Structure 1
Amino acid sequence: MAEDAAPELACVILAHNDPEHVHRLIEALDPFPVYLHVDARASDDVFGAITADLPARVTVLPRRPTAWATWGAVEAEIEGYRAALADGGVTHIALVSGADYPTASIAEIRALLRDHRSDSFSVSSPLPYAQWGRSGGFDRLRYRHWAWGKRMLRLPVPRRLPRDVVFAGGPSSKILAVDHARAVVRTYDTHPELVRFWRRTWSSDETFVNSVLNTPRFVPGWQDHHVGDVFLWWIDWGGPRKKSPPWIDAEALPRLAARRWTSEQVIPWVFARKFSTAASTAVLDELDEMHGLRQEAVTSDAP
Structure 2
Amino acid sequence: MSPRARTSPACAHRAGREAEPLAVVLLAHADPAQVHRLIRALPGVPVFLHCDARTPPPVFRAMTTGLPAHVTVVDRVRTALASWSLVRAELTGLRAAVRAVDARHVVVLSGACYPLMSVDDLVRELAVWRGRSWIANTPLPVARWSTPRHPDGGLWRLNRRYLVHRDRVLHLRGVPLRWPWPRTVPAELELRAGGHWKIYSGAHARLLLDLVDDRPDLLRFWRTTLIPEETFVPTMLASPALAGADALPPCDAGPWYIDWAGSPDGHHPPWLTGADVDRLKVARWAPPLTPAAPPDPAGTRRLFARKFRSADPDVLDRIDAELRR
Range of TM-score over shorter length: 0.7 to 0.9
Corresponding position of 1:143: 160
1:55 pairs, out of 68, 88, 91, with 68
Corresponding position of 1:180: 204
Q: Is 1:232 matched with 2:265?
A: no
- 1:201 and 1:130 mapped to 2: Cα distance? 19
Corresponding position of 2:321: 289
Aligned in 2, Cα 1:152/1:122: closer, same or farther, shift over 3 Å? farther
- 1:132 and 1:292 mapped to 2: Cα distance? 35
Corresponding position of 2:9: none
Aligned in 2, Cα 1:239/1:209: closer, same or farther, shift over 3 Å? closer
The one-letter amino acid paired with 2:90 is E
Question: Residue 152 of structure 1: CA displacement?
Answer: 3.9
| Secondary structure in structure 2 of the residue aligned to 1:144 | coil
Q: Is 1:158 matched with 2:175?
A: no
| Secondary structure in structure 1 of the residue aligned to 2:154 | coil
Question: Residue 266 of structure 1: CA displacement?
Answer: 5.7
Corresponding position of 1:250: 274
Please list every run of 5 or more consecutive structure 1 residues that lacks an aligned counterpart in the other structure: 294-303
The one-letter amino acid paired with 1:275 is F
- 2:286 and 2:188 mapped to 1: Cα distance? 36
Corresponding position of 2:309: 276
Question: Residue 255 of structure 1: CA displacement?
Answer: 1.2
Aligned in 2, Cα 1:22/1:147: closer, same or farther, shift over 3 Å? farther
Report if the CA contact (8 A) 2:171-2:177 is conserved. Answer: no
How many aligned positions are there?
287
Aligned in 2, Cα 1:142/1:9: closer, same or farther, shift over 3 Å? same
What percentage of residue pairs aligned between the two structures are identical? 39
More deviation, 6-15/183-192: 6-15
The one-letter amino acid paired with 1:176 is Y
Question: Residue 182 of structure 1: CA displacement?
Answer: 0.9
Corresponding position of 1:190: 214
How high is the TM-score relative to the length of structure 1? 0.88
Question: Residue 6 of structure 1: CA displacement?
Answer: 6.6
- 2:213 and 2:46 mapped to 1: Cα distance? 24
- 2:136 and 2:152 mapped to 1: Cα distance? 19
- 2:237 and 2:285 mapped to 1: Cα distance? 25
Q: Is 1:211 matched with 2:235?
A: yes
Question: Residue 268 of structure 1: CA displacement?
Answer: 1.7
Q: Deviations over 1:209-251 (max 9, x none)?
A: 111011112212235x657232110001315543211111112
Pairwise mapping of residues 128-139 of structure 1 onto structure 2 (< 5 A)?
Answer: 128-133=141-146, 134-139=151-156
Aligned in 2, Cα 1:152/1:105: closer, same or farther, shift over 3 Å? farther
Please list every run of 5 or more consecutive structure 2 residues that lacks an aligned counterpart in the other structure: 1-17, 163-168, 288-295
Q: Deviations over 1:116-153 (max 9, x none)?
A: 21111111122112221121211001123325499441
- 1:103 and 1:260 mapped to 2: Cα distance? 6
More deviation, 55-64/84-93: 84-93
| Secondary structure in structure 2 of the residue aligned to 1:197 | helix
- 1:227 and 1:215 mapped to 2: Cα distance? 11
The one-letter amino acid paired with 2:160 is Y
Q: Is 1:46 matched with 2:46?
A: no
How high is the TM-score relative to the length of structure 2? 0.82
- 1:221 and 1:176 mapped to 2: Cα distance? 16
Q: Is 1:23 matched with 2:36?
A: yes
- 1:99 and 1:150 mapped to 2: Cα distance? 29
After superposition, the CA RMSD in angstroms is 2.3
- 1:122 and 1:108 mapped to 2: Cα distance? 19
- 1:194 and 1:241 mapped to 2: Cα distance? 32
